[in-house]
Structure 1
Amino acid sequence: MQFEEKCDYTFHYEKGFEVKKDEDISPHLKLCIKDIVKREGFTNFKITVKVIPTDGGNYLARLFEINIYGTTKSGFNNLDIFVKHIVPDEMITIISITDAYKKEVYAYTELLKIYDKLQTDAKVPHKERFKIVKSYEESSSEFIILENMNKNGYSTLNRLEPISYDFARLSVEQMAKFHALSFVLQREQPEYYDRKIKCQKHCFTFDDEWNKFIENFIQISMQCLDDEMKHKVEKIIPVVLKKYPEYHLKTDTEGTIEEVILIDYQLIQYGCPINDFFYFIFGATDREFRRAHLEDLKNIYHDSLTKFLKYFDMDVNLYFSRKTFDRLYKERLDYGLLLAVWFLPILLVDGEDIPDFSKQPAKDMQFKTDKRLKGRLEGVVHDYMEWGYL
């Protein structure tokens, strides 16, 4: 009897997670799941689907958990898959979603495999490695198929709450290792680096629509500030714009964060490493956290970079010295203010009023923000006043 004759490829939606017909899993994705089923050697199985609400944590994808459980020739098997499926992009003009998905497919199917081999060749201990999520070769510019890390003890944080120190420390360590591997790749495969890495540009489209989107979100931010703060920020933004024209976690049984793993590579680009640090700090922390831990995290980042490069017999001073890090941090710190003013409103959107980028132009969006946005933005402005930038 042929394999196909023994198997039921019906996709069963978990109770409470049914979707409308036009929001169902695409035929192409179903075919890819079937290919995975065949490759894993399932003979009798059931496929269940769970739709994951994004709740303001993702704007470029519909999310699914797919579980395949049944028997193979070797016995029982249970396969948990996580899927990021592209959203309709007719109304989205400020970013090329297709390019974003292509970037992530490249990261998972090519770049991260190279990074994994570099770590293996250098005999980096398992616990010290840059962590990489398993991906499936069926991933495409339509969807990304990954191992479901939620089933392995990982979870995502509440986007509305500032991160903990443990999460920040482990995240910064992973960030440093990711950056270190780019330096290793540049040394080991310079031709590949020039051909494939240096061409990684922004997915954003910097045109009039982008400018209107930014102006709209700035105004949403300004509503949270008093007149004095608003005046200071509005005065410096044009100056800064001329200057820049352009983490899942695993916990133990007591809830202590043990491990962090990076999973989103849709916005990777060739650029200054310090920018990633600013995105993380000003998108995920509040003023109290920064006052207590910012200097420590700067040390952790560079110490981790230094230590990790030693596995490859590389001297950090030849690639990204602490002196260079500190200089760029000071020179580019105002970039963090822009990030906060631009993106905190959408990061801290009210859970009952999540905007849909696929149905309304970003330049026209009006939505409720969580009450915590006011305190977070005021904290950023106070920091920049204290640091002498405002």
Structure 2
Amino acid sequence: MQKERNISDLLSKNIAVNGIQSIPLSFQDCIKRIIEKEGYIKCDVEVSNFNSGGGSFAGELYEVDIKGDTIEGAKKTNVFIKCLVTFNNIQYVDVRELFAKEVFIYKDLSKVFNFLQDQADIPQEERFKLPKAYDETKLEAIILENLGQRNFKTYDRLKVMPLKYAQLAVQELAKFHGMSFVIEEKMPDYFEKNIKCLHHPFIYDEDWNGLVRNVCTNLAKQYKDDKKVKIENFLRVFLEKFPKFGDYNKNVKCSLTHQDYRINNVLNGEAVEVIIIDYQLMDYGCPIRDFLFFVFSGSDQKFRRRHLNDLKNLYFETLSRFLKYFNMDVEAMYPRKEFEKVYTEWLDFGLMSVLFASVFLFAPDTGLDLENLSLSELPFCPDEIVKQRLKELIDDFIEWGYL
């Protein structure tokens, strides 16, 4: 029986044949261990860069195809790998801390989620789901099943999301927040030690201020007279208020939050199932933030006027139904009256988060050079369709009295 080939030789051969850049050494040993665990006796490995279309910023993405023979016969394995990158000029986030959070949810928290849902005997179709992570996942490389092989995909981040997808994503978000409430209730020691301590990951420095000024200044140019003045005045409020949204010591109910809940990070499985990915910005804070960022970043004015209120109701109804599986009453954990109050008071987070993130949300397909540029140097050059969506967003908040 032929022994498996040396993994370094395989990688070198594929790089040479396919013209791929050198593969990071940080995950070569991980691939070898996966090959051994999957029972290959001989195999070919092909590594390719994964093109996110400009949607990934804090990691280099790869697909790894393993094809070969096992004792049971032919087999193939496909994994998805995200490797840590470094930011030379951006102090806004600590990339190593971001990767540590993602390692935590895939290797530790996922087991807690499964345990609690097993205990509650939750039907498969109602469970909160995470992608399968390989045990070889570590700080330098997140290694997951390639959900693309199961026909999961992302919607075009530059288009308005379909209603059915939005409904599924809002329901899944409610389950994610619900799992945090369940851990708080059922496993208080674990909650205090591992959840409540997840602090807000951002540092609001002068570099961040420069990015916000750049965005607001450019958007103000689209208006004249009083609306232009409103946006110019809003800049001061934005710079002062937005950092406070990350302070969970406010008198609001908090939970695990995703903090980057947008179209790129909610994979769709043929409009019947969604799976959330990319938990790097996860923190313990106000859950309303995830809902607002998701809806406002993936919608236009027409969509919001038709569906915003219904999606808000769907979120709360799903949270209530999900908690009942654990014999928990949503009114005891997160009363509807409090939810609605916080929703109204924090609604402008939806505007601020989208304006700040617009540089990333609507980045060119080639991505952004975060390794070498500072935040204030990042280009803000939306096309006409994106400009119109941002203009509609501002018009909505003027109409609602927040500007």
Normalising by the residue count of structure 1, what TM-score does the alignment of the two structures yield? 0.92
Amino acid at match of 1:135: A
The CA RMSD over aligned residues, in Å, is 2.2
Q: Note closer, same or farther for the CA distance 1:269–1:8 as it changes in structure 2 (3 Å cut).
A: closer
Aligned residue in 1 for 2:293: 279
Aligned residue in 2 for 1:30: 28
Deviation at 1:349, TM superposition (A): 2.5
Deviation at 1:207, TM superposition (A): 2.3
Aligned residue in 1 for 2:79: 81
In the alignment, the residues of structure 2 paired with residue 248 and residue 347 of structure 1 have an alpha-carbon distance, to the nearest angstrom, of 16
In the alignment, the residues of structure 2 paired with residue 28 and residue 163 of structure 1 have an alpha-carbon distance, to the nearest angstrom, of 36
Among candidates 325, 339, 352, match of residue 325 of structure 1: 339
Aligned residue in 1 for 2:268: 249
In the alignment, the residues of structure 2 paired with residue 7 and residue 85 of structure 1 have an alpha-carbon distance, to the nearest angstrom, of 18
Aligned residue in 2 for 1:192: 190
SS in 1 for 2:183: helix
SS in 2 for 1:330: helix
Q: Note closer, same or farther for the CA distance 1:226–1:336 as it changes in structure 2 (3 Å cut).
A: farther
Q: Note closer, same or farther for the CA distance 1:99–1:71 as it changes in structure 2 (3 Å cut).
A: same
In the alignment, the residues of structure 2 paired with residue 287 and residue 13 of structure 1 have an alpha-carbon distance, to the nearest angstrom, of 48
Residues 359 and 378 in structure 2, CA contact (< 8 A), matched pair in contact too = no
Residues 67 and 81 in structure 1, CA contact (< 8 A), matched pair in contact too = yes
Amino acid at match of 1:159: R
In the alignment, the residues of structure 1 paired with residue 359 and residue 24 of structure 2 have an alpha-carbon distance, to the nearest angstrom, of 32
Deviation at 1:212, TM superposition (A): 2.4
In the alignment, the residues of structure 1 paired with residue 16 and residue 384 of structure 2 have an alpha-carbon distance, to the nearest angstrom, of 33
Deviation at 1:64, TM superposition (A): 0.8
SS in 2 for 1:389: coil
Q: Note closer, same or farther for the CA distance 1:366–1:5 as it changes in structure 2 (3 Å cut).
A: closer
Aligned residue in 1 for 2:10: 10
SS in 2 for 1:313: coil
In the alignment, the residues of structure 2 paired with residue 95 and residue 279 of structure 1 have an alpha-carbon distance, to the nearest angstrom, of 19
Amino acid at match of 2:127: R
Aligned residue in 1 for 2:199: 201
Equivalent residues in 2 for 1:291-370 (5 A)?
Answer: 291-351=305-365, 354-370=367-383
Deviation at 1:281, TM superposition (A): 1.1
Deviation at 1:283, TM superposition (A): 1.2
Residues 221 and 342 in structure 1, CA contact (< 8 A), matched pair in contact too = no
SS in 2 for 1:258: coil
In the alignment, the residues of structure 1 paired with residue 287 and residue 32 of structure 2 have an alpha-carbon distance, to the nearest angstrom, of 40
Normalising by the residue count of structure 2, what TM-score does the alignment of the two structures yield? 0.89
Aligned residue in 1 for 2:260: none
Deviation at 1:225, TM superposition (A): 4.4
Deviation at 1:345, TM superposition (A): 3.2
Residues 131 and 261 in structure 1, CA contact (< 8 A), matched pair in contact too = yes
Deviation at 1:80, TM superposition (A): 0.9
Aligned residue in 2 for 1:108: 106
Deviation at 1:14, TM superposition (A): 8.4
In the alignment, the residues of structure 1 paired with residue 193 and residue 50 of structure 2 have an alpha-carbon distance, to the nearest angstrom, of 37
Deviation at 1:367, TM superposition (A): 4.5
Deviation at 1:288, TM superposition (A): 0.9
Q: 183-192 vs 74-83, which deviates more?
A: 74-83
Deviation at 1:219, TM superposition (A): 2.9
1:67 partnered with 2:62 = no
Residues 7 and 28 in structure 2, CA contact (< 8 A), matched pair in contact too = no
Identity %: 36
Aligned residue in 2 for 1:19: 20
Equivalent residues in 2 for 1:75-224 (5 A)?
Answer: 75-224=73-222
Q: Note closer, same or farther for the CA distance 1:217–1:92 as it changes in structure 2 (3 Å cut).
A: same
Among candidates 275, 280, 285, match of residue 266 of structure 1: 280
In the alignment, the residues of structure 1 paired with residue 26 and residue 8 of structure 2 have an alpha-carbon distance, to the nearest angstrom, of 17
- Can you list the C-alpha shifts for 1:292-325, whole angstroms capped at 9, x where unaligned? 1101101110110010001000000011122111
Aligned residue in 1 for 2:393: 380
